Structure 1
Amino acid sequence: MLRGWTLPVVFLACGIASAFRQSAQGSTGGAVTLFLLFLFAAVLLSPLVFPRSIGAAEARRRSEAVDGRPIVYWRPGCRYCLRLRLRLARDARRLHWVNIWQDPEGAAAVRAAIGGDETVPTVVVAGSPHVNPDPEWVRRHLP
């Protein structure tokens, strides 16, 4: 759980340090600007941007028996996962999201599907895994 917050916390700490330095040099506007840029980056790299994750077993159960939605295996800090999430916009809520850093079973499912690697985002549609697919392709496969 904490591993997903490491990068955002580092960005926030750098933003505070940079803002403090700018402020000490007499540039209040520069301090505020730097802090806001680092804060924005920290939020984008945090798990807050993604829909709530569920476990791999629950995602498979829901996808197969309940609603047929694709499953996205992701991890915080992954720029390709962030790209997929942002490009899907509101449609991202129509997928089942599994954080492989929180769910060992999800990480194992990705390794099994990819051949030993934990490459994310891995989107599973109707039991077939697709590594880093185009967001428009994912949108076309939504029920």
Structure 2
Amino acid sequence: MMRAWILPTLLALCGSAVATGLVLGENTGAATALLLVFLVPAGLNSPLLFPKSIGALEAQRRSAVDGRPVVFWRPGCTYCIRLRIRLGRSARQLHWVDIWRDPAGAAAVRTANAGNETVPTVVVAGRPYTNPDPEWVREQLSPAV
């Protein structure tokens, strides 16, 4: 779990250190702008951007019941961030599995991607799709909603 927070924490700490130096030099405008430059990527790379993750086995069980897709992702993945942002509110309807927190999820992704942990991997009706178009993923929700 800690691995998911390393990059956002480093970005926030570095931005804070640089901004503090600028504030001490009485350049508060530049400090504010620079702090935002560091905090925005920190927020985008944090697990907070994504719906709460569940385990792979629980996600597969829920998907079998409600027919909604399962998304395997990891923090810091730009393609996962793109998928999450482009799905908007629809993202909350999917079952999200953080492969860094769930070894079974990582194993499922490796099985689907010839041994690679390529994310996002979306499983629809038991069939995996690697880095699918967000619009296509949204269409897969239509029958389930």
TM-score by length of 1: 0.96
- Tell me the residue number matched to 2:113: 114
TM-superposed deviation, 1:78: 0.5
1:32-77 per-residue CA deviation (whole Å, 9 max, x = no partner) reads: 121122122211110000000000000000111x100000000001
2:86 corresponds to 1:87: yes
Distance in 1, Cα, partners of 2:41 & 2:24:
23
Distance in 1, Cα, partners of 2:82 & 2:125:
22
Distance in 1, Cα, partners of 2:110 & 2:9:
28
| Range that drifts further, 34-43 or 50-59 | 34-43
Distance in 1, Cα, partners of 2:76 & 2:33:
23
- The answer for unaligned runs of 5 or more in structure 2 is none
For 1:52, what is the secondary structure of its paired residue? coil
Superposed CA RMSD: 0.9
- Tell me the residue number matched to 2:95: 96
1:102-137 per-residue CA deviation (whole Å, 9 max, x = no partner) reads: 000000000011110000000001111111111001
1:8-54 per-residue CA deviation (whole Å, 9 max, x = no partner) reads: 00100111122022223321111112112212221111000000000
Structure 2 letter corresponding to 1:13 = L
Where do 4+ consecutive residues of structure 1 move more than 3 Å? none
- Tell me the residue number matched to 1:134: 133
For 1:129, what is the secondary structure of its paired residue? strand
- Tell me the residue number matched to 1:5: 5
Distance in 1, Cα, partners of 2:49 & 2:7:
14
Distance in 2, Cα, partners of 1:5 & 1:114:
25
Give the fraction of aligned pairs with identical amino acids, expressed as a percent: 63
Structure 2 letter corresponding to 1:122 = T
